[in-house]
């Protein structure tokens, strides 16, 4: 009587190993693809978040450029009469050094810090003092902080700085254009230019391009336009 033999033959074992290897490679490929897709999406979201954060801050400040209180004339008692230039030319763009300079009203939690402070009674007197040099407020006066914000693009380091301190890294390009009216009496924008007389500026267009240092996503360019709330010049 012949005993029955149970088990797998060599061919069956080899076939099972081959199928297992194929399935393992497929699962590994899916895992790698999913991880790569997740990393790309995370990098893209991070780049866009950085761009939107920086531009939203700049837009808020640009909208308040030229807001120097309730009177059209402010006496300059600041050190070196530094406020006078900001008063007459509160927003400038130097294309050669890629520097945007704003003189803007203090807002939010940082409103306590300022480059200058204006003391005014909103009737007949307004005087600008350097930060820390202002006298005590009179009974009928209010204080208004004014910031001097300097944004500079350092191309060599791919970095945008604010008042000399790093603000955002991995910057490929930064540019500014002014929305310019045809005349001082017009409110609409006739053209965009890198420079203009202050009394003709109606808006500012900010363009920021960021990149991923790991090259997981393409460069992201974000552009915003901020309308100036105050007439300049």
Mean pLDDT, 10 residues at a time, the chain of 233 residues: 63 80 82 69 79 91 90 92 91 95 74 83 93 90 92 96 94 96 92 93 95 86 92 73
Return the SS3 of 111: helix
**Full-model pTM:** 0.81
CA 193 to mean position of chain CA atoms: 20
Q: Output helix, strand, coil percentages for the chain, rounded to the nearest 5.
A: 30, 35, 35
pLDDT of residue 217: 82
Number of domains in the chain: 1
183: in domain: yes
pLDDT of residue 206: 96
pLDDT of residue 110: 45
Structural element, H or E, at residue 166: strand 165-169
CA 123 to mean position of chain CA atoms: 36
Nearest to 93, CA basis, from 161, 10, 159, 151? 151
3: in domain: no
What DSSP string runs through 115-160? SEEEEE-SSS-EEEEETT---PPPTT-EEEEEEEEEEEEETTTTEE
* Domain limits for position 129: 45-227
Sign of the alpha-carbon torsion through 136, 138, 139, 145: negative
pLDDT of residue 7: 65
Structure tokens at 175: 């540019």
Instruction: Provide the residue count of the chain.
Output: 233
pLDDT of residue 194: 93
The DSSP bridge partners found for residue 153 are: 160
39: in domain: no
17: in domain: no
CB atoms within 10 A of CB 46: 15
Report the alpha-carbon distance of residue 141 to residue 122 in Å, rounded. 8
Residue showing tokens 């960021």: 210
pLDDT of residue 119: 95
pLDDT of residue 127: 95
Nearest to 209, CA basis, from 177, 179, 169? 169
């Amino acid at each position: 009587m012949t005993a029955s033999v149970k088990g797998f033959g060599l061919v069956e074992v080899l076939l099972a190993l081959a199928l297992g290897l194929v399935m393992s490679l497929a699962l590994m490929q899916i895992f790698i693809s999913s991880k790569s897709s997740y990393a790309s999406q995370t990098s893209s979201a991070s780049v866009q978040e950085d761009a939107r954060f920086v531009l939203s801050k700049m837009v808020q400040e640009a909208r308040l450029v030229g807001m120097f209180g309730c009177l059209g004339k402010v006496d300059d008692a600041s050190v070196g009469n530094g406020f006078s230039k900001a008063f007459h030319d509160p927003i400038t763009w130097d294309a050669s050094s890629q520097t945007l300079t704003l003189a803007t009203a203090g807002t939010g939690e940082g409103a306590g810090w300022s480059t200058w402070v204006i003391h005014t009674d909103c009737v007949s007197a307004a005087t600008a003092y350097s930060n820390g040099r202002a006298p005590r407020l009179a009974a009928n006066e209010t204080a208004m902080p004014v910031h001097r914000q300097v944004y500079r693009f350092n191309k060599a380091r791919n970095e945008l700085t604010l008042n000399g301190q790093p603000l955002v890294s991995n910057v490929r390009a930064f540019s500014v254009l002014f929305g310019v009216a045809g005349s001082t009496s017009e409110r609409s924008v006739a053209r965009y230019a890198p420079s203009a007389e202050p009394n003709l500026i109606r808006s500012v267009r900010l363009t920021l391009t960021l990149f991923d240092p790991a090259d997981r996503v393409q460069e992201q360019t974000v552009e915003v336009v901020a309308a100036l709330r105050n007439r300049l010049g």
